[in-house]
Amino acid sequence: MNDSFGARLRSAMDERGPLCVGIDPHASLLASWGLKDDVDGLETFTRTVVEALAETVAVFKPQSAFFERFGSRGIAVLERAVADLRAAGGLVVMDAKRGDIGSTMAAYAETFLRPESPLFSDALTVSPYLGYGSLKPAVDLARESGAGLFVLALTSNPEGAEVQRAVREDGRTIGATMLAHLAEENAGESPMGSFGAVVGATLGDLSSFDLDINGPLLAPGIGAQGATAADLPAVFGPAVRNVVPNVSRGVLKEGPDATALRAAAERFADEIRAAVAV
């Protein structure tokens, strides 16, 4: 890959619209599609989403856990989905939220960020709560491979605040510290850096945080979780152009009809494009 993840992401969102569709085949969703909660159901669901959306949506975020729960056959479905999505021009953000130290973190990085890996993705979600420095193997390999990371910084789950809003001795919160690290990683990059943050779209006013990290902000919470496209400018302020809004159930609930899936994705993309226009 010649272009960095940040450059490819900017191009994809400008061309296809600023939307990330989560691929979360949990049991209740499979049931609502009339599918069994087994590998065959998983494969049918995933293939339908890929065939319906791969050529029109900018970014996809498969949740690794929903594939891993079926063992090696489930991971094989995930491998095929990643390959097919990327072949059709979509970018894949693997939502695995890996975090560890030393050689273990390096192995996680090899799994998702080494181009020769069958699960190679354009970016990976990671957890920095063993210390930001523990992510170094993933940061280094992402740079080498032209991939990116999304670091958990200000998540939308209520429990996250007890860690992310905790105040350090220097007066900064943990979440703000993670954002500052990412700004350093992205310094000088154009059109934006490849090291992003996960920041919930449901969090309301975040003006006390510096979200201008010159990198992407993966924003779950649009649709079923209660946030709307119109909320994005108030939440993200001047950084809104770099927001990658994630919608999962809001699109996936329209399946298994492919036309309905495409229509829902197009509607969300249009609404987001209009809301974040600068």
How many CB atoms within 10 Å of residue 3? 12
183 three-state secondary structure: helix
| Distance of alpha carbon 32 from alpha carbon 255, whole angstroms | 9
Contact 255/45 with Cβ under 8 angstroms?
yes
> The tokens of 167 are what?
């105040």
Per-position b or e across 199-217, b if 16+ CB within 10 A of its CB? bbbbbeebeebebebbbbb
| Distance of alpha carbon 43 from alpha carbon 60, whole angstroms | 16
Per-residue DSSP letter, 157: S
Reported residue count of the chain is 278
> How distant, in Å, are the alpha carbons of 25, 72, 271, 272 from that of 65?
9, 12, 29, 28
Contact 122/90 with Cβ under 8 angstroms?
no
> Active site residue: 36, 61, 97, 253, which one?
97
Please report the sign of the dihedral spanned by the C-alpha atoms of residue 81, residue 215, residue 227, residue 275: negative
Residue 42's contacts (CB-CB under 8 Å, 6 or more residues apart) are 25, 30, 66, 67, 70, 74, 77
Question: Is residue 36 among the annotated active site residues?
Answer: no
Catalogue the active-site residues. 97
